[in-house]
Structure 1
Amino acid sequence: MEIPLPSIADQQKFIFEAATREAIATLQSNLQAPRLPPQDEVDESQYSRAHLLRHDEGWEVPNPDLVAAYFRHFQMHFPEYGTDAKLGTLLGLRGSNRDRRIRSFKDGSADIPYDLWRKFLIITGRVPQDVLKVMAFMA
């Protein structure tokens, strides 16, 4: 008995198409996210807005006051991420010191990395997600 299987290329195409459909559905559902009031802990007009730019557009590390205010505001509205460890997990930090790393970003003893900050900005709807064009299937 022989069971015909699709080629590896056909299997990869199927997986790619399914993942793309799922991503489109997520992007569509993102448009329905609730609108929450802005944070009011700090006056954002007193700070540069370069922390909202992409890396190649002149991004600057956000002021720790903004990091702390944004994080606390998010945690207030999403109690399931109310601890720094849980927020760290959401942002992709690994290891047992996630909470200390988040606190170091809040207090300014460490600069928040671009990728982590960008992810937070996307999750909170402050910047759009980047969608990359596939130039070719080369596998």
Structure 2
Amino acid sequence: MTNPYQPPQGEQPQYQSPQQPYQQPVQPYAPPPYQQPAYGQQPGYGQQPGYGYPVAPPTNTLAIVSLVSSLATLVLGVTAIAGVITGHMALGQIKRTGEGGRGMALAGLIIGYVFVGFTVLAILFFVIAMVLGLAVPFLALLGTNGELGTA
């Protein structure tokens, strides 16, 4: 018995297709050649995907100094001016370098200016009180009709 799947001896099977013959597609680029990693380096396997929160920029040191020195005015009483000065310096650096801490610098400025304002008002109050304190006995000496010594 002969094998029906084998072609008969002496004849070559002819395959004719109504379609055109298959052609390989042209590759637009060749892959880059393999490069040996430098001595002591591991071959790169690609970047791992990043997870979590992005890293925040560092906080400006002068912003921290501004806030602390402005709040220290409650205890020491004279550091508000240092808080205002360092707050302005910190805002300039933050604008230039892109560091964090703008809120702290603004808080130090606001608190410092509030305490400087309270200090100026207190000094004005005491100066006016001293002037009025000295003026009251002087007005008593003037008397009711404005003449000196008739009271």
Same fold (TM over 0.5): no
TM-score, with normalisation over the residues of structure 1?
A: 0.22
TM-score, with normalisation over the residues of structure 2?
A: 0.21
Which of these two proteins has the greater Rg computed from alpha carbons?
2
More helix by proportion, 1 or 2?
A: 1
